């Protein structure tokens, strides 16, 4: 009977130790994942800021006045003279 009781106590001790190690490991993994989550959220926020800047830049470049100025200055485009305009039916 004593041998069965001792064996049962060893099994319980092993189960308690395994459970304690599992709790410590789970908490450690939880903290690591939380740090990763925080880093990814910061990266997301930085990307959202950059996206807003790029949208503003795109809107600036897409203004008709700016496109007209670029066409005239860089490409040398001009408005056609009235006699050069042909209407097609």
Residue 81 lies in a domain: no
Residue 37 lies in a domain: yes
Q: How does pLDDT run across 61-85, given as a tens digit for each residue?
A: 889 999 898 888 999 998 889 888 8
Question: By residue range, what is the domain housing residue 20?
Answer: 2-76
Average pLDDT over residues 11-22: 97
> Taking the mean position of all CA atoms in its chain, how far away is CA 29?
22
- How far apart CA 51 and CA 57 sit, in angstroms, is 10
Average pLDDT over residues 32-53: 98
Residue 89 lies in a domain: no
SS (H, E, C) 26-82: HHHHHHHHHHHHHHHHHHHHHHHHHHHHHHHHHHHHCCHHHHHHHHHHHCCCCCCCH
> Taking the mean position of all CA atoms in its chain, how far away is CA 70?
35
Average pLDDT over residues 18-30: 98
pLDDT over 80 at 1, yes or no: no
pLDDT over 80 at 58, yes or no: yes
Residue 17 lies in a domain: yes
Q: How confident is the model at residue 24 (pLDDT cuts 50, 70, 90)?
A: very high
- How far apart CA 54 and CA 47 sit, in angstroms, is 10
């Amino acid at each position: 009977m004593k041998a069965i009781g001792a064996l049962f106590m060893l099994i319980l001790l092993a189960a308690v130790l395994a459970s304690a190690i599992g709790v410590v490991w789970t908490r450690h993994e939880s903290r690591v994942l939380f740090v990763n989550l925080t880093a990814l959220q910061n990266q997301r926020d930085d990307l959202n800021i950059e996206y807003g800047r790029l949208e503003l830049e795109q809107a600036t470049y897409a203004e008709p006045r700016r496109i007209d100025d670029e066409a005239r200055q860089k490409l040398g485009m001009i408005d056609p003279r009235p006699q050069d305009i042909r209407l097609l039916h």
